[in-house]
Every structure is written in structure tokens, then in C-alpha cells.
Amino acid sequence: MNSAPATSDSHPPAPIWRRLMAMLYDSLLCIALVFVVTAVYTGLHKLLINIGLFSDRYATIAEPGGSIGYDPVLTLVLAGSLWLFFGFFWRRAGQTLGMQTWRIRVENADGSVVSWSQALLRIVAGVLSWATFGLGWLWQWLDPQHRSWTDRLSGSRTVQLPKRNKKQ
């Protein structure tokens, strides 16, 4: 699906507390994703060592009690996994599971879903926002359109959705 139904400008910007609660919810999912991806990666890594496709240097790292070194491939795999996680949800409907719970959505000005490159820019801006002790999120209080760094850098916006009417 390339775009969500277009929305009007009537949706207000999502308040910071809703964004933070959605981030908390999604961080739990991301932690689980990182554990699963690391376990699969480690299992494949060990398998490749056992069949002789990796050198002794990698075998030493993988041994119990062996020196734990930095693995740039694992770092790239984890970063890619998180980009795919957020990109999948943002491209599908503009919402991660946490965002659905807190009724917020990421969208372009015309209401369409963000692109893969916008998803990557949002992630980079999110990392920068946290690296500056949350300044990127607090920025929305200074911005006339209440956009955070993630919104501004990616050219998108985060809006609050209305409550759905329950059908009886």
C-alpha cells in the first residue's frame, strides 16, 4: 500500500506526551526485535564458524568466555532491522503499534504515508533527538507548527487522530 487515505489539516499535531508514550511502547517491541535478530545472527554466525566459513578470529569471539569484540556487521544488521520495523509500519498505515495505541500517525502534509527515505531520516533525527537529551522532541514547543526534529528533517508531521466511535 503506497498511501493512506488523505486527511485534512483538521488533525492537530500530536502532543509530546502521546509521542513519548508511543515511543515507550514501541521501545519494548524494539528490544524484543533486537533480541530475536541477535539470537538468529549469533546462531548463523556460530553455524558458519562450525562449517569453516569464518576465520579463527571470529571463532575466538564466539567461544564461551572468549573476548567479546565489536561486530560491525551485527550493528548494521540491527540498524537495518529497526529501519525495516519502523519503515514497514510507517509505510503501511503511518503508525507503529505504539502509535496505534496512542492514536497518533506519521504522514505527509497531504495525508499520504512517508517514503522509505523519510523513514530513515526520521530514525536518524530520532537518534539525534535522544543524543541531545530530548531537545529534538522538546523542539515542538518552539516550532510554530509543533513539529519535532523528526518531523522537520523528514518533511512529515505527526498528528493526533480522533477517537473512533464504537459501534454497538
Q: What local confidence, expressed as pLDDT, does residue 7 receive?
A: 45
Which residues are CB-contacts of 41 (< 8 A; sequence separation ≥ 6)? 74, 77
Rounded distance between C-alpha atoms, residue 147 and residue 138, angstroms? 9
Question: Does residue 5 lie within any of the structural domains?
Answer: no
Q: What local confidence, expressed as pLDDT, does residue 49 receive?
A: 74
Q: What local confidence, expressed as pLDDT, does residue 147 receive?
A: 95
Question: Does residue 7 lie within any of the structural domains?
Answer: no
* Domain ranges, residue 97: 16-160
Three-class SS state of 162 = coil
Question: Does residue 166 lie within any of the structural domains?
Answer: no
Mean pLDDT of 25-40: 97
Question: Does residue 155 lie within any of the structural domains?
Answer: yes
48 or 26: which leads in pLDDT: 26
Q: What is the pTM of this model?
A: 0.82
Q: What local confidence, expressed as pLDDT, does residue 159 receive?
A: 97
Question: Does residue 114 lie within any of the structural domains?
Answer: yes
User: Is a pLDDT exceeding 50 seen at residue 6?
Assistant: no
Lowest mean pLDDT segment, chosen from 53-62, 80-89, 118-127: 53-62
Q: What local confidence, expressed as pLDDT, does residue 47 receive?
A: 83
Question: Does residue 153 lie within any of the structural domains?
Answer: yes
Question: Does residue 165 lie within any of the structural domains?
Answer: no
Question: Does residue 135 lie within any of the structural domains?
Answer: yes
Segment 104-153, tens digit of pLDDT: 999 999 999 999 999 999 999 999 999 999 999 999 999 999 999 999 99
If one counts the domains in the chain, the total is 1
Closest CA to 121 of 94, 152, 99, 100: 152
